[in-house]
Amino acid sequence: MGKEDGCLICEKHKGIAYHPPGGYIYKGRYFAVCHTPLNAGPAGTLFIESRRHLLDYTEMNANELAAYGPLLKRVYTHLRAITGAERIYQVAMIDGVAHFHCWLVPRRRSDTVKGIRFLAMDLTADESTAMEIVNEMRTAMAHA
C-alpha cells in the first residue's frame, strides 16, 4: 500500500473524493488551487495543494520549490484584489491530511479580530460569495 492510498487530497485530484466548491481554480504541473470546504473558513479561503503526494517543503524537488513562490505571489495578488483583504494569512499545518496543502485565509479590513484569534474563530463561507470569488479567481489566474 503506497503512502498516497487513502489520501483525501490524492483522491480529490483524481476526482473520486470531495469536490471543492466551484471546482479547481488552477491546476498546474506541480500545484492546484481551490476553495476550502465552506465550513472551514471565510469566503475566499483557498488551498494550494501539491499535485504529487508529499508532506512538506522538505520533500519538494527543485522544480516544485521554484514553482511555488511565483504561484503564491499570483494567488496572493489576485485574492487580495478580489476579496479586498487587508491581510492574507498563510498556514500549513498538514495534520488533518498528510499531503502538502497551504491555507490562504483572507482577513478583510472590516474584520475586528486579528491573528491567531481570527483563525480560531468559527467562520463559515457563504456559498454564493465563495462561488463568486472562485469564478473571479479562475478568470484572473487564466489571464495572468
Is there a domain that residue 1 lies in?
A: no
Determine the structural domain holding residue 29 and report its residue range.
8-142
Is 108 within a domain? yes
Q: pLDDT grade, residue 123 (50/70/90)?
A: confident
Q: Is 117 exposed, middle or buried (0-12, 13-18, 19+ CB in 10 A)?
A: exposed
DSSP secondary structure letter of residue 37: P
Per the DSSP assignment, residues forming a β-bridge with 130 are none
* Contact between residue 65 and residue 30 where contact means Cβ atoms under 8 Å apart: no
Q: Across residues 27-36, what is the average pLDDT? A: 97
Note whether residue 48 is domain-resident. Answer: yes
34 pLDDT above the threshold of 90 = yes
In-domain check, residue 65: yes
Q: How confident is the model at residue 1 (pLDDT cuts 50, 70, 90)?
A: very low
- Strand spans (E) along the chain: 26-27, 31-35, 46-50, 85-91, 101-108
pLDDT at 136 over 70: yes
The dihedrals phi and psi of 116, each to the nearest 5 degrees, come to -60, -40
Query: Are 101 and 93 in contact, with CB atoms under 8 Å apart?
Result: no
- Cα angle 19, 23, 27 (rounded to 5 degrees) comes to 110
Q: Number of structural domains, the chain? A: 1
**pLDDT grade for 2, boundaries at 50, 70 and 90:** low
- 66 pLDDT higher than 80: yes
- Please indicate, yes or no, if residue 3 is contained in any of the structural domains: no
Q: How far apart are CA 49 and CA 103, in angstroms?
A: 9
Mean pLDDT of 22-33: 97
Q: Is the pLDDT of residue 3 over 90?
A: no
Nearest to 10 by CA among 65, 49, 40, 64: 49
Q: What is the CATH number of the domain that holds 83?
A: 3.30.428.10
With respect to residue 18, please indicate whether it lies within any of the assigned structural domains: yes
The pLDDT, as a whole number, for residue 124 is 93
